[in-house]
Chain A
Amino acid sequence: MQPAGEEELSEMVRGATGPLRICGGGTRPVGKPVLGEMLSSAGLNGITLYEPGALTLVAKAGTPLAEVEAALGAEGQRLAFEPMDMRALLGQSGTPTVGGMVAANASGPRRVQVGACRDALIGVRFVDGQGNVIKNGGRVMKNVTGYDLVKLMAGSWGTLGVLTECAFKLLPIPETQATLVSDPMTPQDAVAVMARALSTPFEVNGAARGCDGRVCLRVEGFAQQVTYRTQALIAALGGAWELREEAASAAVWQEMRDLIEFAQTPGDVWRISVKPSEAPAVVARAGCPVVMDWGGGLIWALMPEGDDLRASLGAFSGHATLIRGSDATRAALPVFQPEAAPVAALAQGLRAKFDPRGVLNPGLMG
């Protein structure tokens, strides 16, 4: 099914007699496999409002992300949270869409300084499991009028509603960027140096340790600013740092963001969200190749196929999600970290209120 507009989509959901598999560009097949009729957002296409002077863009959910990024680029602006493109990692060939990105709350390296997709999202329209068309938030960046269902929709993977339109707060693209790259370091040393870098006033907006153990630190701004900040960082951190500028710097972060190294290696890929200072211990217990982002707060782990990473990790302050795994593995293991009973009860309650018939991506999040 591919509705041409919000109203038609609403009718289709209302009339659904069985499970629906909600699909944006189909580039993020994450979660328990959903058996059901495909409902595509491809017909909901187009930027509905773009005001560069207000740092605001509104687009229909099926709009290709590339189209949005091109429009923003022409005005020197961007979605600052740097959404990951999962196509290489997951072997997909579709087109990432605005709605898919929001449903996954996809956020890249810059999340550590500017916030996640959910932080830039300022408004949504969606269709709930009974076909109601609901709006929440709006197109202004400060808005506390009523409950914030915008955050609830971000990262809910289409299980509470089908997104039809999303509004974002934007940021200007700085004049230039540079990245400092270290020699390989242990996870322990890497997290320590990233913590120090993130505690300086130099606005480090990328702090990651690649698969090869090298720590990368990014700064952006006007040219003089970037020169000053990279020098000040080197002075503050000590040690040897290689400087990559402009395009070379951008290339570092695109590879980091899209996990290019893991894309070319077989195995399951897990995403671990953790208190940064606990990251070295978590990495040690995982005992596999990792990429550490967000100053250690995000760990991507490349595990042997079918292994239960959570069994090796035991208790830690955070959670693990299986991002890449065979259908069999995703059916056998919880894809999302099982939550504490009182939290799980609330999640269940919300699902029952927003999708009482259980037609929207049933079971995807467990």
Chain B
Amino acid sequence: MEMPIPNAGVLSKRDRVLARLAQVVPQAALITDEAERRAYECDALTAYRCIPLAVTLPSDTAEVAAILRICHEEGVPVVPRGSGTSLAGGALPTEDSVILGVARMRDMLEINYADRYVRVQSGMTNLAVTGEVESDGFFYAPDPSSQLACAIAGNIAMNSGGAHCLKYGVTTNNLLGVTIVRMDGTVLELGGAHMDAAGYDLLGVICGSEGQLGVVTEATLRILPKPEGARPVLMGFDSNEVAGACVSDIIKAGVLPVAIEFMDRLCIQACEDFAKAGYPDCEALLIVEVEGSPAEIDTQLGVIKQIARRHNPVELRESQSEEESKKIWLGRKSAFGAMGSINDYMCLDGTIPVSSLPFVLRRIGEMSKQFGLDVANVFHAGDGNMHPLILFDANKPGDLELCEEFGAEILKLCVEVGGCLTGEHGVGIEKRDLMNVQFAPVDLDAQMRVKDVFDPEWLLNPAKVFPLDASATRRQAA
């Protein structure tokens, strides 16, 4: 993966930049030692690494503003970092960049049940937000698989989703406001406890902008009352096509499950070995979950099971207990870990129209044979967000490159059928060079114009999202 040549001018004034940063943050919050900096050389896309110039770990908005102001004056690129769980390389540094991590900013600032929101520092983890309010019957809805570790800052940067967005939406639908610092150190409040924007919806633009428009330091998040209960049903089918058709029929029937998860044979086996969830031996498995009181759940699952029966399932099993439900979800949520324990893999997350599911799965199967690499499929079927896991051997020369080439072909296929390159992981560096497949130059230019407004010098996370040649003039002009 190509990255811009480090700015020699910046490298040569490292000492001065570090000295200036040392004046605005405590010693413990400025990491300059090489061994310690190495911990920040990559995120969860571990194939690409680079040690940054320095790492700063500020503790509040004022420190963030001070750091950014200095880097702006010195012309030093800044790479914002949440918990470093990005699968797309969103937090990958360059040699001439300063990492600005929010890991020390983890305070709960306000819990307001009357208005149903919380205000947090952006370094707080996703699951910790729910942890603070669940004993009072509330939760924060977006639930990415990495929720134990991932920070709200990263969720906002990538507009993270999760398994339950069919009903609850993604981060942007649950974000009410942010405090954000621009590259020049200007602090802005966007949104708040009210529900819509006074003028342009800048909050909506910030969400999903991959840390390129500003650094979010605080966030106001909508919290929701917990449902009375939830129950999954397992459905096994003897082909991907039939499972895909069943998903479509469920959606059309007017029941809205909170989640419809799909796994194929390879994934079912790996998860079953890992979690012992009692998954059936079949080609395709759906986990469909609904919420409500026990009687409401019975009604909804009744409708769903009736639809499933029309597709001749090889297994149709409703969870009988809280414990069984937990096991069923544990299997699904440990899918990546389970696959990782048997192989190296690359995880894609292109989204496709639900109607194209059978076709796309068949094509992926054919390509898998062509490339000679296995693919396991596990994904959020209700919203078409796929997660093909391409298995490869990192120790085998050329396998990573082959895997990347295969991945690119799958993502092109997603775009071809009317979908997109990434549904919830973000572009980062991983899909940067594929942006031309989905967008015309004029579409990318429109997006880059927004960055021109927020960060005219292109210093914030500059080598991400846009193909390097598309952003070259702008990055070099600055």
Binding site for B on A (CB under 8 A): 51-56, 75-76, 105, 107, 111-112, 115-116, 118-119, 128, 132-136, 138-152, 154-156, 160, 171-175, 192, 195, 198-201, 221-222, 224-225, 228, 232, 273-277, 294, 297-298, 317-319, 321, 336-337, 339-340, 342-344, 346-347, 349-350, 353-354, 365
Does B199 lie within 8 Å of A297, measured CB to CB? no
Chain A residue contacts of B454, Cβ below 8 A: 346
Tell me, rounded to whole Å, the shortest Cβ–Cβ distance linking A126 to chain B.
9
CA–CA, A297 to B194, complex, Å? 6
Does A146 lie within 8 Å of B296, measured CB to CB? no
Does B353 lie within 8 Å of A51, measured CB to CB? yes
With A128-B446, A346-B202 already in contact, 8 other A-B pairs whose C-beta atoms are closer than 8 Å: A136-B447, A277-B114, A277-B115, A297-B195, A339-B198, A343-B188, A350-B200, A365-B199
CA–CA, A146 to B434, complex, Å? 11
Q: Which of B208, B354, B452, B465 contacts A54 (CB 8 A)?
A: B354
Tell me, rounded to whole Å, the shortest Cβ–Cβ distance linking A79 to chain B.
15
| 6 A-B interface contacts by CB (under 8 A) | A135-B440, A149-B205, A152-B201, A155-B196, A198-B116, A365-B199
- Evaluate whether A222 and B205 lie within 8 angstroms (CB atoms) in the complex, with A76-B254, A136-B446, A175-B254 already known: no
Does B170 lie within 8 Å of A142, measured CB to CB? yes
Q: Which residue, A138, A192, A201, A277, has most C-beta atoms of chain B within 10 A?
A: A201
Chain B residue contacts of A147, Cβ below 8 A: 205, 208-209, 447, 450-451, 465
Q: Which of B173, B192, B209 contacts A318 (CB 8 A)?
A: B192
Chain A residue contacts of B249, Cβ below 8 A: 53
Interface pick from B72-80, B361-369, B377-385: B377-385
Chain B residue contacts of A155, Cβ below 8 A: 196-197, 200-201
- Evaluate whether A152 and B254 lie within 8 angstroms (CB atoms) in the complex, with A143-B420, A298-B195 already known: no
Does A154 lie within 8 Å of B204, measured CB to CB? yes
- Evaluate whether A152 and B204 lie within 8 angstroms (CB atoms) in the complex, with A53-B248, A317-B193, A337-B198 already known: yes
Q: Which of A135, A138, A199, A294 contacts B137 (CB 8 A)?
A: A199
- Interface 1/0 per residue, B9-37 and A, CB below 8 Å: 00000000000000000000000000000
Tell me, rounded to whole Å, the shortest Cβ–Cβ distance linking B149 to chain A.
19
Does B172 lie within 8 Å of A138, measured CB to CB? no
The reply to whether the CB of B435 lies closer than 8 angstroms to some CB of chain A is yes
CA–CA, A333 to B254, complex, Å? 46
Tell me, rounded to whole Å, the shortest Cβ–Cβ distance linking A289 to chain B.
21
Does B113 lie within 8 Å of A148, measured CB to CB? no
Does A53 lie within 8 Å of B355, measured CB to CB? yes
Chain B residue contacts of A52, Cβ below 8 A: 251-252
Does A145 lie within 8 Å of B438, measured CB to CB? yes
Tell me, rounded to whole Å, the shortest Cβ–Cβ distance linking B349 to chain A.
9
- Evaluate whether A221 and B420 lie within 8 angstroms (CB atoms) in the complex, with A146-B447, A343-B199 already known: no
Does B199 lie within 8 Å of A353, measured CB to CB? no
Within 8 A of A (CB), among B403-454: 418-427, 431, 435, 438-440, 442-447, 449-454
Q: Which of B228, B296, B435, B451 contacts A221 (CB 8 A)?
A: B296
Does B204 lie within 8 Å of A142, measured CB to CB? no
CA–CA, A342 to B87, complex, Å? 33
Does B251 lie within 8 Å of A142, measured CB to CB? no
CA–CA, A340 to B419, complex, Å? 38
* Number of residues from B at the complex interface, CB < 8 A: 93
Does A339 lie within 8 Å of B199, measured CB to CB? yes
Chain B residue contacts of A171, Cβ below 8 A: 256
Does A275 lie within 8 Å of B115, measured CB to CB? yes
Chain B residue contacts of A347, Cβ below 8 A: 199-200, 202
Query: In the complex, which residue of chain B has the Cβ closest to the Cβ of A344?
Result: B199
Tell me, rounded to whole Å, the shortest Cβ–Cβ distance linking A57 to chain B.
12
Does A145 lie within 8 Å of B449, measured CB to CB? no
Q: Which residue, A111, A139, A141, A294, has most C-beta atoms of chain B within 10 A?
A: A141
Tell me, rounded to whole Å, the shortest Cβ–Cβ distance linking A275 to chain B.
4
CA–CA, A224 to B294, complex, Å? 12
The reply to whether the CB of B300 lies closer than 8 angstroms to some CB of chain A is yes
Query: In the complex, which residue of chain B has the Cβ closest to the Cβ of A53?
Result: B248
The reply to whether the CB of B127 lies closer than 8 angstroms to some CB of chain A is no
Query: In the complex, which residue of chain B has the Cβ closest to the Cβ of A221?
Result: B296
Tell me, rounded to whole Å, the shortest Cβ–Cβ distance linking B400 to chain A.
23
Q: Which of A133, A140, A354 contacts B352 (CB 8 A)?
A: A140
CA–CA, A293 to B170, complex, Å? 24
Query: In the complex, which residue of chain B has the Cβ closest to the Cβ of A161?
Result: B446
Does B353 lie within 8 Å of A145, measured CB to CB? no
Does A54 lie within 8 Å of B251, measured CB to CB? yes
Does A140 lie within 8 Å of B383, measured CB to CB? yes
Report the 4 A-B pairs with minimum CB-CB distance, sorted nearest first. A151-B204, A53-B248, A319-B198, A142-B423
Tell me, rounded to whole Å, the shortest Cβ–Cβ distance linking B309 to chain A.
18
Does B296 lie within 8 Å of A225, measured CB to CB? yes
Does A142 lie within 8 Å of B351, measured CB to CB? yes
- Evaluate whether A75 and B252 lie within 8 angstroms (CB atoms) in the complex, with A155-B197, A275-B192 already known: yes
Chain B residue contacts of A224, Cβ below 8 A: 295-296, 299
Chain B residue contacts of A346, Cβ below 8 A: 188, 200, 202, 453-454
Interface pick from B92-100, B158-166, B232-240: B158-166
Chain A residue contacts of B248, Cβ below 8 A: 53-54
The reply to whether the CB of B225 lies closer than 8 angstroms to some CB of chain A is yes
Q: Which residue, B186, B208, B431, has most C-beta atoms of chain A within 10 A?
A: B208
Does B228 lie within 8 Å of A201, measured CB to CB? yes
The reply to whether the CB of B399 lies closer than 8 angstroms to some CB of chain A is no
Does B205 lie within 8 Å of A139, measured CB to CB? no
Chain A residue contacts of B422, Cβ below 8 A: 143-145
Chain B residue contacts of A192, Cβ below 8 A: 114
Chain B residue contacts of A134, Cβ below 8 A: 442-443, 446
Chain B residue contacts of A273, Cβ below 8 A: 194-196, 198
Q: Which residue, B188, B199, B425, has most C-beta atoms of chain A within 10 A?
A: B199
CA–CA, A344 to B453, complex, Å? 12
Does A222 lie within 8 Å of B194, measured CB to CB? no
- Interface 1/0 per residue, B373-395 and A, CB below 8 Å: 00000001001110000000000
Does A145 lie within 8 Å of B201, measured CB to CB? no
Does A199 lie within 8 Å of B199, measured CB to CB? no
Query: In the complex, which residue of chain B has the Cβ closest to the Cβ of A142?
Result: B423
Chain B residue contacts of A119, Cβ below 8 A: 169, 172-173
Does A141 lie within 8 Å of B384, measured CB to CB? yes
Tell me, rounded to whole Å, the shortest Cβ–Cβ distance linking B29 to chain A.
26
CA–CA, A366 to B203, complex, Å? 20
Chain A residue contacts of B435, Cβ below 8 A: 145-146
Tell me, rounded to whole Å, the shortest Cβ–Cβ distance linking B262 to chain A.
14
Query: In the complex, which residue of chain A has the Cβ closest to the Cβ of B136?
Result: A199
Chain A residue contacts of B161, Cβ below 8 A: 142
CA–CA, A347 to B190, complex, Å? 12
Does A142 lie within 8 Å of B380, measured CB to CB? yes
Query: In the complex, which residue of chain A has the Cβ closest to the Cβ of B207?
Result: A148
Tell me, rounded to whole Å, the shortest Cβ–Cβ distance linking B49 to chain A.
24
Tell me, rounded to whole Å, the shortest Cβ–Cβ distance linking A320 to chain B.
9
Chain A residue contacts of B438, Cβ below 8 A: 138, 145-146
- Evaluate whether A140 and B420 lie within 8 angstroms (CB atoms) in the complex, with A146-B447, A275-B192, A353-B449 already known: yes
CA–CA, A128 to B443, complex, Å? 11
Q: Which of B226, B255, B447 contacts A149 (CB 8 A)?
A: B447
Chain A residue contacts of B165, Cβ below 8 A: 141-142
- Evaluate whether A133 and B442 lie within 8 angstroms (CB atoms) in the complex, with A54-B355, A144-B208, A198-B116 already known: yes
CA–CA, A174 to B299, complex, Å? 13
Does B204 lie within 8 Å of A145, measured CB to CB? no
CA–CA, A298 to B253, complex, Å? 33
Chain A residue contacts of B251, Cβ below 8 A: 52-55, 172
Chain A residue contacts of B447, Cβ below 8 A: 136, 146-147, 149
